[in-house]
Amino acid sequence: MSQLDSQDLEGRILAHRKLLVALLHTIARMAPNPDDLWDDIRDSASLLDQEEDPGAIPNAAFATQVRETEELRSIIAQAEARFRRS
Protein backbone atom coordinates (compact mmCIF):
# COMPACT_ATOMS: atom_id res chain seq x y z
CA MET A 1 0.00 0.00 0.00
CA SER A 2 1.33 3.42 -0.87
CA GLN A 3 1.86 6.16 1.67
CA LEU A 4 -1.30 8.06 2.58
CA ASP A 5 -1.27 11.81 2.86
CA SER A 6 -2.90 13.62 5.76
CA GLN A 7 -6.15 14.22 3.85
CA ASP A 8 -6.46 10.53 3.03
CA LEU A 9 -5.84 9.59 6.66
CA GLU A 10 -8.29 12.19 7.94
CA GLY A 11 -10.98 10.97 5.54
CA ARG A 12 -10.49 7.38 6.59
CA ILE A 13 -10.52 8.24 10.30
CA LEU A 14 -13.72 10.26 9.88
CA ALA A 15 -15.34 7.35 8.04
CA HIS A 16 -14.40 4.98 10.88
CA ARG A 17 -15.75 7.45 13.43
CA LYS A 18 -19.10 7.74 11.61
CA LEU A 19 -19.38 3.98 11.37
CA LEU A 20 -18.58 3.51 15.08
CA VAL A 21 -21.16 6.13 16.09
CA ALA A 22 -23.79 4.45 13.90
CA LEU A 23 -22.96 1.00 15.31
CA LEU A 24 -23.08 2.18 18.92
CA HIS A 25 -26.37 3.93 18.26
CA THR A 26 -27.86 0.78 16.72
CA ILE A 27 -26.60 -1.44 19.53
CA ALA A 28 -28.06 0.93 22.14
CA ARG A 29 -31.43 0.85 20.40
CA MET A 30 -31.44 -2.95 20.65
CA ALA A 31 -30.19 -3.11 24.25
CA PRO A 32 -32.69 -4.08 26.96
CA ASN A 33 -31.26 -1.35 29.21
CA PRO A 34 -29.42 1.29 27.16
CA ASP A 35 -28.32 3.25 30.24
CA ASP A 36 -26.36 0.22 31.48
CA LEU A 37 -24.81 -0.15 28.04
CA TRP A 38 -23.65 3.51 28.00
CA ASP A 39 -22.23 3.11 31.52
CA ASP A 40 -20.31 -0.02 30.49
CA ILE A 41 -18.94 1.62 27.36
CA ARG A 42 -17.85 4.73 29.26
CA ASP A 43 -16.23 2.55 31.95
CA SER A 44 -14.21 0.64 29.36
CA ALA A 45 -12.95 3.92 27.86
CA SER A 46 -12.00 5.16 31.33
CA LEU A 47 -9.74 2.17 31.98
CA LEU A 48 -7.06 3.86 29.92
CA ASP A 49 -6.83 6.61 32.56
CA GLN A 50 -6.17 4.17 35.38
CA GLU A 51 -2.77 3.05 34.19
CA GLU A 52 0.59 4.02 35.65
CA ASP A 53 1.55 7.57 36.41
CA PRO A 54 3.65 8.77 33.47
CA GLY A 55 5.94 10.75 35.75
CA ALA A 56 6.92 14.38 35.53
CA ILE A 57 7.59 14.24 31.80
CA PRO A 58 5.05 12.22 29.84
CA ASN A 59 6.49 10.34 26.89
CA ALA A 60 5.08 10.06 23.38
CA ALA A 61 3.29 6.79 24.21
CA PHE A 62 1.44 8.46 27.07
CA ALA A 63 0.50 11.42 24.85
CA THR A 64 -0.89 9.00 22.26
CA GLN A 65 -2.85 7.19 24.97
CA VAL A 66 -4.36 10.48 26.15
CA ARG A 67 -5.45 11.34 22.59
CA GLU A 68 -6.90 7.84 22.20
CA THR A 69 -8.92 8.20 25.40
CA GLU A 70 -10.18 11.63 24.34
CA GLU A 71 -11.24 10.26 20.95
CA LEU A 72 -13.03 7.28 22.51
CA ARG A 73 -14.92 9.56 24.88
CA SER A 74 -15.84 11.85 22.01
CA ILE A 75 -17.17 8.96 19.91
CA ILE A 76 -19.15 7.61 22.86
CA ALA A 77 -20.60 11.05 23.65
CA GLN A 78 -21.60 11.58 20.02
CA ALA A 79 -23.23 8.15 19.78
CA GLU A 80 -25.09 8.59 23.06
CA ALA A 81 -26.31 12.04 22.03
CA ARG A 82 -27.57 10.59 18.75
CA PHE A 83 -29.33 7.82 20.67
CA ARG A 84 -30.97 10.30 23.10
CA ARG A 85 -32.28 12.38 20.17
CA SER A 86 -33.83 9.37 18.43
In tens digits, the chain (86 residues) has pLDDT values of 578 899 999 999 999 999 999 999 999 999 999 999 999 999 888 755 545 555 556 677 777 888 888 899 999 999 999 999 99
Backbone phi, psi, residue 78, to 5°: -65, -40
C-alpha distance across the termini of the chain, in Å: 40
Query: Taking the model in full, what pTM does it have?
Result: 0.79
Q: Taken in order 73, 24, 6, 54, is the CA torsion positive or negative?
A: positive
Angle made by CA atoms 67, 64, 36, in degrees to the nearest 5: 50
Map residue 52 onto helix, strand or coil: coil
| Cα angle 67, 15, 79; round to 5 | 70
